[in-house]
């Protein structure tokens, strides 16, 4: 699997963190308030993958939407076109360049990821150790370390601005790679069409999986 496709799959594990949160609280309280209050979201994003020396491996942009529980749509637009959809039961990954669709059961695709945890219940501290890191680059930072060893992430950092909006996420893996996500035009609890979370493979594409 290429760095781009690997990064795309890792990105989906964080879909339910992305949104404006409650004001006048530290980063941990903001995250908890979001989990309790956010039903849906949409945003534009950029995704940068860095190696252990900080060298850029890839940079992609796109837009995302999600609706809890378990429904999401990520559209990678540049430089590669890829669509990832969760319809609540199945996970669909459509790679336009390869003319290929991969489909899996949603739980199997997300595994023990933050998305799987947060879509099931609001007990975030059951699966993560949370710690406030203070201010850096004018953002209030939170660290979430998974308690389970069956995950691709060593830790996740989240940076909130003065308006309590989640602006940046940093996903650190056990190999020293860092995926940096930056969000713009965030909308909290928008009304989203159910059609956004349905996927029908285009005619003529190869379909792999279940």
The pLDDT, as a whole number, for residue 4 is 52
The pLDDT, as a whole number, for residue 56 is 95
pLDDT at 123 over 80: no
Q: Which residue has the tokens 């890839």?
A: 58
- What's the pTM? 0.77
Contacting residues for 203 by C-beta, under 8 A, at least 6 apart: none
- What is d(CA 45, CA 63) in angstroms, rounded to the nearest whole number? 6
Domains of the chain plus CATH, in order, are: 3-209 (2.50.20.10)
The confidence band for 25, taking pLDDT boundaries of 50, 70 and 90, is: low
The pLDDT, as a whole number, for residue 207 is 94
């Amino acid at each position: 699997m290429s760095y781009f496709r690997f990064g795309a799959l890792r990105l989906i594990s964080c879909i339910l963190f992305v949104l404006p949160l409650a004001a006048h609280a530290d980063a941990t309280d903001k995250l908890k308030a979001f989990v309790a209050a956010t039903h849906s979201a949409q945003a534009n994003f950029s995704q940068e993958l860095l190696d252990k020396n900080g060298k850029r491996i890839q940079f992609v942009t796109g837009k995302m939407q999600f609706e809890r529980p378990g429904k999401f749509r990520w559209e990678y637009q540049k430089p590669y076109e890829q669509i990832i959809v969760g319809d609540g039961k199945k996970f669909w990954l459509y790679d336009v360049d390869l003319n290929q669709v991969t489909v899996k059961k949603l739980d199997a695709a997300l595994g023990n990821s933050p998305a799987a945890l947060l879509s099931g219940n609001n007990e975030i501290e059951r699966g993560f150790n949370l710690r406030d890191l203070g201010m850096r680059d004018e953002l209030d930072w939170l660290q979430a370390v998974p308690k389970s060893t069956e995950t691709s992430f060593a830790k996740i950092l989240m940076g909130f601005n003065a308006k309590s909006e989640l602006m940046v996420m940093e996903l650190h893996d056990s190999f020293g790679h860092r995926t940096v996500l930056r969000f713009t035009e965030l909308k909290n609890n928008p009304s989203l069409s159910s059609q956004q979370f349905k996927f029908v493979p285009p005619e003529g594409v190869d379909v792999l999986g279940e």
